[in-house]
Amino acid sequence: MRNSLHMGFWIKGAQALALAAAVCFSLGATDTGSRYNDLNHRLMCTCGCAQILGECNHVGCTSSKQELDELRTYLAAGMNDQDILGKFAAKYGATVLAAPTTQGFDLVAWIAPFAVFAAALLGTILLVRRWTVGKKEAAAQAQISDPATKALREQIRRETGADGGY
């Protein structure tokens, strides 16, 4: 009896902990402050400082305050994240987005670095294999066909008394 009560206590505790975690994460997802912080880190400042909008510390920046106010207005209007990013991109151009989208030609920006890395890796592997195979073949041909090398090896063998596999 005591074992089942003890087990029930732990099950109820685990359920309460899972519920508390779910509530915390769902509150953070809808909190306007966290959305504001997330979105201003997904946008670039348009003043030319090449910094994230939420972190623009450019002295005398004429753009960041206006753009952050626009962002607050869009959030207060209840717009979703994609619509807000779309509005900024339409107004300031695609360069206002801190990361390219995953649609259309912008997808190349996500794929190209991995494709270039894979091509460079493959090229390096093929180049190293060619170098090593070429050297092995050259060494084998030199060993077989060079009479001077044969004579030199025979002399070394006689003088050192070695009977090694040259």
Per residue in 98-136, pLDDT (tens digit) is 887 777 777 888 899 999 999 999 999 999 988 887 777
146: phi > 0 → left, psi -120 to 50 → alpha, else beta; which?
A: beta
* Cβ-based neighbours of 124, under 8 Å, separated by 6 or more: none
Burial 16-53 (b: 16+ CB within 10 A, else e): eeeeeeeeeeeeeeeeeeebbeebbebbbbbbebebeb
- Specify the pLDDT at position 154: 86
Residue 54 belongs to some domain of the structure = no
Q: Return d(Cα 37, Cα 68) in angstroms, integer.
A: 10
CB atoms within 10 A of CB 127: 10
Whether 84 maps to a domain, the answer reads no
Residue at 49 is within a domain? no
In the chain, which residues have pLDDT < 50? 1, 5, 23-24, 26-29, 166
Total number of domains constituting the chain: 1
Position 143 in a domain: yes
Token readout for 8 is 């029930």
**Domain hosting residue 165, numbered range:** 102-166
Residue 81 located in a structural domain: no
Which tokens sit at 163? 């009977």
Indicate whether 34 belongs to any domain: no
pTM of the model: 0.49
Task: Give domain status of residue 23, yes or no.
Answer: no
Q: Is residue 47 part of a domain?
A: no
CB of 45 closer than 8 Å to CB of 58: yes
